[in-house]
């Protein structure tokens, strides 16, 4: 490999206990049940509280409302046990930050230590019903006027116009940010390759893309089979806000551009929801 390029792939695969295996196998089913419940509650709310049955024609808007309800009810619990590797990275943020898909801001407390070194953070969150809580969490984390909420997604067709409206795009949008943070976002974008390449373009040379994303399971036939079952028989993407359990997001990220350093660690590789956590540095 040329120059200072380092491509590091470490795998954290301790032998799981029987209890851990069972929980890993059924966890997506529990989340699916919660997703179906919140879609049902949203349906009843639309029909009998909001009295806007026409909203059901706009399936995307209805699903956004349902997933927002799901996340407001469960986001704190789902974000309560972030891996130490991610927390360490988020303490070192600096400069101009793009925070894609921050949801209701449950992870922003991990950013607090980096606040003095951060000039501004732009949170690209398409679900408007999460914005109020996101603003509160940003203030609680010490960012007050530094955190700017954008009503857009991570995909270029949504993100680029929103950044342009903020006057952030220079030289065609290339190299606008020192850091980009993606925590459980790339699983849900319509075109992960296009989105990853778009994020690469928005980084300045030497800038970092910090990620924590769940990925396809390659270490367990049982877990991989269950991923397929939840995806196709359980209709996972429909009930879980477009999320995809079995994307090879690590491969997509590595191929998104020219990186001078890649350090990604695989956590719970035997699980139905294995994760990669780490960073990629733009050459």
**CATH number, position 115:** 3.40.50.150
Residue 24 is assigned to a structural domain of this protein: no
In this predicted structure, what is the pLDDT of residue 172? 62
Q: What is the pTM of this model?
A: 0.93
Cα 235 from Cα 239, distance rounded (Å) = 7
10-residue stretch averages of pLDDT, the chain, 283 residues long = 46 78 96 98 97 93 96 94 93 98 97 96 97 98 96 97 91 83 97 98 97 96 97 94 96 98 96 97 98
Residue among 11, 86, 89 at smallest CA distance from 265:
11
Q: How many other C-beta atoms lie within 10 A of the C-beta of residue 88?
A: 12
In this predicted structure, what is the pLDDT of residue 14? 65
Number of structural domains, the chain?
A: 1
Cα 186 from Cα 24, distance rounded (Å) = 21
Burial letters 138-166, b for 16+ CB under 10 A, else e: beebbbeebbbbbebbbbbebbbebbeee
Q: 83 in helix, strand or coil? A: coil
In this predicted structure, what is the pLDDT of residue 173? 60
In this predicted structure, what is the pLDDT of residue 2? 39
**Token duo for residue 274:** 């294995």
- Residue 137 domain boundaries: 6-18+82-282
Q: Which residues contact 80 (CB under 8 A, 6 or more apart)?
A: 106
Residue 258 is assigned to a structural domain of this protein: yes
Q: What is the largest CA-CA distance in the chain?
A: 63
Residue among 82, 90, 282, 67 at smallest CA distance from 196:
282
Residue 66 is assigned to a structural domain of this protein: no
Residue 75 is assigned to a structural domain of this protein: no
Could you tell me if residue 213 is left (phi over 0), alpha (psi between -120 and 50 degrees) or otherwise beta?
beta
Q: How many other C-beta atoms lie within 10 A of the C-beta of residue 81?
A: 6
Residue 93 is assigned to a structural domain of this protein: yes
CA angle 179, 78, 281 (to 5 degrees): 20
Q: How many other C-beta atoms lie within 10 A of the C-beta of residue 93?
A: 21
Q: Which residues contact 162 (CB under 8 A, 6 or more apart)?
A: 124, 150, 151, 152
Residue 91 is assigned to a structural domain of this protein: yes
Residue 47 is assigned to a structural domain of this protein: no
Residue 257 is assigned to a structural domain of this protein: yes
């Amino acid at each position: 490999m040329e120059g200072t390029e380092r491509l590091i792939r470490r795998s954290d695969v301790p032998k799981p206990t029987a209890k851990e295996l069972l929980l890993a196998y059924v966890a997506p089913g529990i989340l699916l049940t919660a997703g179906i419940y919140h879609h049902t509650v949203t349906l009843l709310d639309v029909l009998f509280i909001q009295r806007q049955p026409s909203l059901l024609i706009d399936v995307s808007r209805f699903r956004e409302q349902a997933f927002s309800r799901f996340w407001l009810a469960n986001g704190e619990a789902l974000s309560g046990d972030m891996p130490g590797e991610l927390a360490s990275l988020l303490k070192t943020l600096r400069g101009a930050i793009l925070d894609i898909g921050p949801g209701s801001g449950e992870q922003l407390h991990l950013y607090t230590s980096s606040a003095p070194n951060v000039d501004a953070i732009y949170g690209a969150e398409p679900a408007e019903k999460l914005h109020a809580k996101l603003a509160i969490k940003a203030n609680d984390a010490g960012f007050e006027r530094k955190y700017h909420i954008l009503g857009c997604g991570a995909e270029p067709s949504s993100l680029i116009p929103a950044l342009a409206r903020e006057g952030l795009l220079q030289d065609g949008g290339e190299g606008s940010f020192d850091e980009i943070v993606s925590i459980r976002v790339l699983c849900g974008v319509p075109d992960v390759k296009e989105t990853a390449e778009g994020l690469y373009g928005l980084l300045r040379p030497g800038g970092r893309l910090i990620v924590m994303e769940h990925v396809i399971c390659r270490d367990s036939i049982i877990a991989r089979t269950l991923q397929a079952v939840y995806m196709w028989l359980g209709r996972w993407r429909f009930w879980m806000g477009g999320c995809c359990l079995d994307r090879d997001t690590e491969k997509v990220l590595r191929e998104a551009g020219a990186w001078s350093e890649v350090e990604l660690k695989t956590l719970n590789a035997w699980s139905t929801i294995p994760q990669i956590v780490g960073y990629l540095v733009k050459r």
